[in-house]
Structure 1
Amino acid sequence: MSGSKVEHTGQGSNHRIKASESAVMFHGSSASKTLFRYVPITLYSKSKSLRAYALVDEGAECTLIGRALADELELDGPATQLCLKWTGDITKNEPESMSVAVSISAPEHNAIQYALKNVRTIANLDLPEQSIGPQLLKSRKHLSTLPILPFNNVKAQLMGRVSVSSHPLRSKEDERSMQIMEATTTWQTGLLWRFDRMHLPDSYQMAVRRLKCLEAKMSKDPPLKEFMMNTMHDYKQKGYIHRLKDITNPNKKKTRLVWDAAAKVSGMSLNDCLLKGPDTLASLMGVLIRFRERPFADMFHQVKVRLEDQPAQKFLWRDGDSSRFPESFVVQVMTFDASCSPALANYVKNRNAERFVAEHPDAVKAICKNTFVDDWLQSVDTGAVVIQIAETVKMIHASGGFEMRRWTSNSKQVIQALEDDCEELDKRISAQDEAQEKVLGLWWLPGQDLLTFVVTPNLLAKASKERPTKRRVLSVIMSIFDPLGLLGFFNIRAKIILQNIWRSNIGWEYDLTNEDEADWQHWLDLVSNLNAVRIPRCMKWESRT
Structure 2
Amino acid sequence: MEPWDVITSVNDSPFAMKTLLGWVINGPLDVVNTDQVVGMFVSSNRITANQIFPSLEDQLCNHFNYDFSERTIDDENEPSKEDKQFLDIASKSSSLVNGHYVIDLPFKSKDVQMPNNRKQAEQRLIALSKRFTQDHDFHKQYVTFMDKVINEGYAIRVPEKDNGQNDGSIWYLPHHGVFHPKKMKLRVVFDCAARFKGTSLNDQLLQGPNLTNTLIGTLIRFRQEEIAIMGDIDSMFYQVRVPSHDSNFLRFL
Q: Give the conservation status (yes or no) of the 8 Å contact 2:94–2:103.
A: yes
Please give the root-mean-square deviation of Cα atoms over the aligned residues, in Å. 2.7
Asked if structure 1 preserves the Cα contact closer than 8 Å seen for 2:192 and 2:201, the reply is yes
2:228 to 285, 297, 304: 297
- Using a 3 Å threshold, how does the CA distance of structure 1 residues 252 and 201 change in structure 2: closer, same or farther? closer
Aligned residues of 2:169 and 2:249 also touching (Cα < 8 A): no
Give the 3 Å change call, closer, same or farther, for CA 294–286 of structure 1 in structure 2.
same
1:269 matched residue in structure 2 = 200
The one-letter amino acid of 1:229's match is: V
Give structure 2 stretches of 5+ with no counterpart.
Answer: 1-18, 26-50, 56-73, 97-101, 175-189, 232-237
Quick check: 1:184 aligned with 2:184? no
Per-residue deviation at 1:249?
Answer: 1.3
Residues 8-65 of structure 1: CA deviation (Å, up to 9, x unaligned): xxxxxxxxxxxxxxxx9611339xxxxxxxxxxxxxxxxxxxxxxxxxxxxxxxxxxx
Give CA deviations for 1:428-470 in whole Å, capped at 9, x if unaligned: xxxxxxxxxxxxxxxxxxxxxxxxxxxxxxxxxxxxxxxxxxx
Q: Which amino acid aligns with 1:256?
A: Y
* Structure 1 residue identity aligned to 2:84: E
CA displacement, residues 116-141 of structure 1 (integer Å, 9 cap, x when unaligned) = xxxxxxxxxxxxxxxxxxxxxxxxxx
Report the Cα offset of residue 201 of structure 1: 1.0
Equivalent runs, 1:345-360 vs 2, <5 Å: none
Q: CA offsets, 1:238-267, max 9 Å, x none?
A: 100111123231433521112100000011
Summarize the Cα distance change of 1:88–1:287 in structure 2 as closer, same or farther, 3 Å threshold.
closer
CA contact (8 A) 2:89 2:104 kept: yes
1:111-122 aligned at under 5 Å gives the runs: none
Deviation at 1:169, TM superposition (A): 2.9
Q: What secondary structure, in the 3-state scheme, does the structure 1 residue paired with 2:211 have?
A: coil
Tell me if structure 1 keeps the 8 A contact 2:169–2:248: no
8 Å CA contact retained: 1:184, 1:190: yes
**Alignment partner of 1:29: what SS?**
strand
Go from structure 1 to structure 2 and tell me whether the alpha carbon gap of 1:268 and 1:253 turns closer, same or farther (over 3 Å shift). Answer: same
Kindly indicate whether the alpha-carbon contact (under 8 Å) linking 1:256 and 1:313 is maintained by their aligned counterparts in 2. Answer: yes
Which residue of 34, 52, 57 corresponds with 1:86?
Answer: 52
Deviations 1:42-96 (A, max 9, x none): xxxxxxxxxxxxxxxxxxxxxxxxxxxxxxxxxxxxxxxxxxx93299xxxxxxx
Task: Give the structure 1 partner of residue 173 of structure 2.
Answer: 257
- 1:306 and 2:238 are equivalent in the alignment: no
Q: What amino acid sits opposite 1:254 in the alignment?
A: I
Write the deviation string for residues 457-502 of structure 1: whole angstroms up to 9, x where unpaired. Answer: xxxxxxxxxxxxxxxxxxxxxxxxxxxxxxxxxxxxxxxxxxxxxx
- Please give the alpha-carbon distance, in whole angstroms, between the structure 2 residues aligned to 1:282 and 1:288: 10
Of the three residues 23, 26, 41, the one matched with 2:21 is 26
Pairing of 1:189-208 with structure 2 (within 5 A): 189-208=103-122
How far 1:228 moved relative to its partner? 1.0
Residue equivalent to 1:358: none
Q: 1:387 is matched with which residue?
A: none
| 8 Å Cα contact 1:261-1:271 kept in structure 2 | yes
Task: Pick the structure with greater CA Rg.
Answer: 2
Deviations 1:274-300 (A, max 9, x none): 110012333333123322344423210
Partner of residue 173 from structure 1, selected from 82, 94, 103? 82
> Is the CA contact 2:108–2:206 (under 8 Å) kept in the aligned structure 1?
yes
Alignment of 1:414-425 (within 5 A): none
| Percent identity of paired positions between Structure 1 and Structure 2 | 28
Structure 1 position 230 matched with structure 2 position 196: no
Structure 1: 5+ residue stretches without partners: 1-23, 31-84, 90-160, 317-545
Q: Which amino acid aligns with 1:28?
A: W
| 8 A contact 1:203–1:256 mirrored in 2 | yes
1:207, 1:198 → 2: CA distance? 20
User: SS at the partner of 1:299?
Assistant: coil
> Take 1:88 and 1:260, find their aligned partners in 2: how far apart are those partners?
48
CA gap of 1:288–1:218, structure 2 versus 1, over 3 A, is: farther
Counterpart of 1:86 in structure 2: which amino acid? I
The reply on whether 1:211 has 2:211 as its aligned counterpart is no
Q: Distance in 2 between matches of 1:201 and 1:291?
A: 48
Preserved CA contact (<8 Å) 1:25 1:86: no
* CA distance in structure 2 between the aligned counterparts of 1:248 and 1:224, rounded to whole angstroms: 31
The reply to whether residue 280 of structure 1 matches residue 189 of structure 2 is no
Q: CA contact under 8 A between 2:222 and 2:228: conserved in structure 1?
A: yes
Q: Is the 8 A contact 1:25 1:87 kept in 2?
A: no
Which amino acid in structure 2 is aligned with residue 29 of structure 1? V
Letter of the structure 2 residue corresponding to residue 211 of structure 1: L
**Counterpart residue number, 2:183:** none
Q: Which amino acid aligns with 1:177?
A: F
> TM-score if structure 1 supplies the norm length?
0.28
Question: What amino acid does structure 2 have at the position aligned with 1:276?
Answer: Q
